[in-house]
A and B are shown apart, each in its own frame.
Chain A
C-alpha cells in the first residue's frame, strides 16, 4: 500500500508499503526504519515545541517535533521494531532566505530533533536538511530506500 503523509501527520508501514510526503518546507520529515522487523514510519512535523499550543498537541501530537518523534518510536515498538536496529533519517527543515531568525522554524525543528535523539542515545544515519527548496520524500518500507525529489532532481538519502 502507498500511504500519503500530510502536514502534521504520521503513517506507519510494513513490508510492501510505501510512505510518501510532499512539499516539505520548514517541516521535518523523519523516517525511522527497522530493516529486520521490516516496519517503518514517516513523520511530517510542522513546528518544534508543543507548549505553544498544548490543546493542539493533544489532538494532533504529530504537528510538533517534541511530541511527534517519541510517538513515532513508540508506535514502531508496538509493531515489533527494536531500538537497537532502527535506522533514523531526517529531511526538510528548510528556511526562507535572509537572516531574520523569526522565520527559522526549520532550524528550530532540527535543533529539537537533535536534542531529542541525543537524550535518547539515537544517532541520525543520514540527513538532507536546510536550504530554501521544497522536498518530496518517498520511503519504501521493504527496502528502506528513501528518495528525495527537489526541484526536478532526485537523490537517495
Chain B
C-alpha cells in the first residue's frame, strides 16, 4: 500500500513543520543522563512561548504538584526529566493541534482536547491494569492523530468517496486507505520519523487504528488503540469520524481490559483531560 501514496501527500509530509529548534535541543539534552539543568533552561530561553506553555502544563492538576511551578528548573526538580520531556513535546505541538482540521470537520481546539484525553486515558489504563508500558506512552498517545493535520485537506477533497466507502461498513481509517492509498496513522508515523522520535512512539502512532498489524505486539500500541477508541466514545473531538473505528478484541485481551476497568478509566480521564487541555 505504501507505494500507492500520492506524491502530493508525500510532499506535504516533507513540508510539515520541523520541531522547534529549542525543543529539539532540550530533548537531546534531557536524553543525556548527566544533563545540566542550567543548559536546559538556557536552551528554552530562546523560546519564551514554549517555556510559558511548559509551565502552564506543569501546573495542571493532573500532575498533582502541591506547589506552583514558576521556572523550568523547578519543573525539572518536581516533575522529573521524563515528565518534563513529555511536556516539552506537548508544548511544541499545542498550537498546531489547536487548529481546525478540515476533512475531519474538527473544530478549533478539539484535536488538542482529544489528543490530551487519549494521553490521560492511556496512562489511566496503564495504572488501572498495572501494565508495563514505557513512559513515552504519554507522547505516543498525544501524537497519534498528528497525521490528520496533513491528511485532512486530502480527506476533504475526497470526502464523498470516503463516505461512500465507509457506508459499506468500513471503519473511517479503512475508507481513507481505500480512497487515498494511505491513512492518517501512517502519515503521522512518517512525520514523527522525520522528527527522529523513538521507534516505540512511531510504532504506536502507525498502528493505533489497527494494532494487530504491528509486527511486534506491544503494550504501548495496544493501549493507545484502546484509549483512542474510549475517548472517541466519550465524544471528545470526534466530529466526522464519529465512532467508525473497529476496536481490536485481541488488543483488549492482551491488555486484560474488563468492562469495569474501561469505564473506571473513562470516569477518571474526563476531568483530568478537560483540566489539562484547557490550560493552553
Contacts and interface: CB of A to CB of B under 8 A. Distances in A.
Interface of A: 7-8, 22-27, 46-49, 52-53, 56, 63, 94-103, 105-106, 132-134, 150-151
A27 B234 contact: yes
B267 A47 contact: yes
B244 A8 contact: no
Interface stretch (B137-145, B195-203, B257-265): B257-265
A59 to B, nearest CB: 9
A25 B233 contact: yes
B268 A53 contact: yes
B161 to A, nearest CB: 15
Contacts of A96: 229, 232-233, 243-247
Interface of B: 163, 169, 171, 229-230, 232-249, 252, 257-260, 262-264, 266-268, 270
B270 A7 contact: yes
A53 B268 CA distance: 9
A7 B244 contact: no
Given A103-B247, A132-B243, A97 B169 contact: yes
Contacts of A52: 260, 263-264, 267
Contacts of B268: 53, 56
Contact of B266 (A47, A106, A151): A47
A97 B238 contact: no
Contacts of A49: 263
- Counting from the closest, the 3 A-B pairs by CB-CB distance are A25-B235, A23-B235, A26-B233
9 contacts: A7-B270, A24-B235, A25-B242, A26-B235, A47-B267, A96-B245, A102-B262, A105-B266, A134-B240
A105 B229 CA distance: 11
Given A7-B270, A132-B242, A134-B239, A98 B234 contact: no
